[in-house]
Structure 1
Amino acid sequence: MAAGDLPISHSTLDALPLSPRVRYLRHMLISAGTLPAIDVLLNDLEKHATAFIASLPREHGAVTGQYFRWQLLRKARQRSAVRAVTPGVYSTRSTELRKIAGFLSWLDTNGLSLSSLDQASVDRFFAHHHSQAAVGTFLNWAIRQGLTNPVQIPGRKPAPPRPPVPDDILWAKVDQLVDDESIPLGSRLIGLLVLVFAQRISDCVRLRRSDVTDDETMRIALGRTPLTLPSPIAALLRHHLEELSTRRPYLDGGPDWLFPGATPHCHVSEASVALHLVPHKIHAREIQQARIDHLVQTVPASVVADMLGININTAVRHAARTNSRWGNYPELRASPTGE
């Protein structure tokens, strides 16, 4: 392309093997306005799936390709219209394809096919193969399409109740992130938003600078109601914003990400943040759930949902699981004594 022998186009890049370098170049050309904007990971997912399906035996490839186009790709495109496909979604969909291909191979090995599949074989497969939710979803689709018999898919075993995370451990992690300068500042701030405000990393990385206001008191909009940041976190965020103001952008314009990544016009990846936090035993999902459990015991679930930007049903479930007295908040509010 640089020599002028090939057109600068998405088609030219699509002809190259998938790689981080090609993905970076595509992002660069899009951010410069040289190429039209597309969802890069959605494009790569379709390209990866096409190559993978082509490598399967013909009959397996036919049914897997049909499932991918009408189920996985359709849903990915619907998601992309609202939010770009993430590396996590890309990885999950790729793994689902591999699991489905593995199931079809298992059928062949056992002298079976989709059309001859019976309940005993389904039970045997799921009894000896774990983490096969993708196969269950595929089989339900195959049943609806009339490709296999109406078998029953074993339900998932409920996860055991997670042990509570003591408050002293949570606040010790907060102190660590406030003080530990060996952790990149952006990851420290995201970790603090997880620990203090029960945020998901996936939501934190998509915050914009416009979500932050600093008029003597620094506030951040995580939900509908902006939250005042504690002074240690506010000080770190001011420092972070000062650092951002001195960075020379790849190109002018683009999204005002609060946590920009290395790829032009893209926010930092969830994986890179987790990579910085996990060595310090900060597991975002576990801590976020524990923090919501604590908050719904302190204030009504509706207030928690409004402040943190989480679904009200999620907050209510946490309140019910923790036997929060705020579960009857409307009645308590109406009571003269609050008893």
Structure 2
Amino acid sequence: MSQRNRWLGLTLALASSVVMAQAYPTKPIKLLVPFAAGGTTDIIARVIAEPLGKELGQVVVVENRGGGGGAIGALETARQKPDGYNLGIATLSSMATNPAINPKTPYDPIKDFTPIINIAATPNVIAVNPKFPATDYKSFEAYLKKNPGKYSYGSSGTGGVQHMLMELYKSLTQIDMVHVPYRGAGPALNDAVAGQIPMVLDNLPSALPFIKDKRLVAIAVAAPQRLAVLPDVPTFKEVGLEQVNRMAFYGILGPKGMPKELVDKINAATRKALQDPAVRKRIEDTGSLVVANSPEEFAAELKNELAVYKEVVAKQKLTLD
């Protein structure tokens, strides 16, 4: 192919991409949540879906596809056409912790997706059923050390952020607990409230309503500082476990190969939706912080988190077994 033909081909491709972005969207958009309904990922997705749809001029339909610590839903998004009509919610579990611990993860979190925007970041919290014998951090740790292997905790699934953070916590404190994986945070929370399991490590937004209603008791939070909504609950840093003090994130991505014009259009629409005080309040009321960054910043964040958790897995010798 001559240089002139190559140049012509690139020009036509660029023009086609621009035209497609200008026309987009012409039909409803699917936003896939890689966890069951009721968890924080689902909450954030449903908060942003309606205002995002209004900005884009088409309905944004939220669908849930749980399992595999977010891997099943993420894989479905990765397999779609990069036309902007099949988007997914990116989480710390699906993009970092799960791929870091599971060598058989069926996608590459960096190469198989197009990062669009990080919507929000949120703390994590260890919470226990009110009937658990210890309801403050000091007694919680002491009691578990006196009863190795006796108690279990629930998580959103094997390889998810809740699983990885609690396993990191266990390795640092030498506490022995049994992991009970669920198909999402919602079912794990429900069982903890019902007393089927004694505790969970969950994202704050989905756990907070149960904590406020005194159906769960917060023990410690993974956050940079104490939270206004839980002023009496220490951070992991305060109790000497700064390594566990990492926030979760909830972003939007698409399959690899999405045209930049589409990415920029979705990013701009999401950012505009997040400028609405009512939308921001709904997100902040869950305990999350609005991020609303650029595609490039979100891509860098994904790479950094994956690197961090790969190092955690290597240092702590964590496996799926």
For this structure pair, what is the TM-score category when the shorter chain's length is used for normalisation? under 0.3
> What TM-score do the two structures reach when normalised by structure 2?
0.23
Could you state the TM-score of these two structures normalised by the residue count of structure 1?
0.22
Q: Is the helix fraction higher in 1 or 2?
A: 1
More relative contact order, 1 or 2 (CA 8 Å, 6+ apart): 2
